[in-house]
Amino acid sequence: MGAWFTREIADAGRLRLFCFLVAFILAFLFIRFSVRMIRRQVRWWPGNVAPGGQHIHHVVFGLVFMCVGGVGGLAVQDGSSGWAAAAAGVFGAGTALVLDEFALVLHLEDVYWTDQGRLSVEVVFITIALCGLMLLGLRPLGANDAAGDGVWGIAGVLLFNLCVAVIALLKGKVWTGVIGLFIGLVAIIGAVRLARPDSPWARRRYAEGSRKERRARVRERRYRLPVQRFGDWLSDLIAGRPSGRS
């Protein structure tokens, strides 16, 4: 295990990313455990931080950690040092605290335990997936594959991969588009297949009652909804069930 870590993480220049991801996951799991204990009003858990009756959301602490970790990381010259790893960990923990309240920042109101608050969990899951792909050595938009093709070759590959990934996102396929930023084939499949019925692409290009619109809704019921139910179940298991959901 130690030899693998040295070869694949430290020697490959991924130590800071590894520390960021580990701290990110641990901080997210901790804060979700904390808010669930507070929600249940258990006596043995400290509860909210509310000096003078002012509830301080953990996004505030996340911003402080991100500033400390970010500036500290910039000040460290050696990217393989313990200080660099510690700064990356602090930055990762802060990022987790901020993204866990992403929906609150977006809506500028406390939607944490509503269905709108599920957006925060989705953003956290996407961040973990992206960091995991980069930790495996993948680079966005196929930059690795195009490295030996010259300037115009690199530009062409990057532009093509970006276009198909954006099309997949416009078709409402968030995971396909995001993963497609790293694995071009995934983005191409998402770009050529039918859009989700309520996506920006479908609203502009699929006329109401058209054959494509009907096929898109059939596919949504047959394939997308079971996946969505599993995603909701996993999200509820890890992050807690929104208020009002049975």
Query: How far apart, in whole angstroms, are the C-alpha atoms of residue 169 and residue 189?
Result: 12
Residues of the chain under the 70 pLDDT cut: 1, 141-154, 244-246
Query: How far apart, in whole angstroms, are the C-alpha atoms of residue 102 and residue 108?
Result: 10
Percent of the chain with pLDDT over 70: 93
pLDDT of residue 246: 46
Report yes or no: 241 and 39 within 8 Å, Cβ to Cβ: no
Q: What is the pTM of this model?
A: 0.84
- Count Cβ atoms below 10 Å from residue 164 Cβ, excluding itself: 24
Q: How far from chain centre, in Å, is Cα 222? A: 26
> Read out DSSP for 68-130?
HHHHHHHH---TTSHHHHHHHHHHHHHHHHHHTTHHHHHHTS--TTSGGGHHHHHHHHHHHHH
Annotated domain spans of the chain: 1-137
pLDDT in tens, 47-101: 888 887 788 899 999 999 999 999 999 998 887 888 999 999 999 999 999 999 9
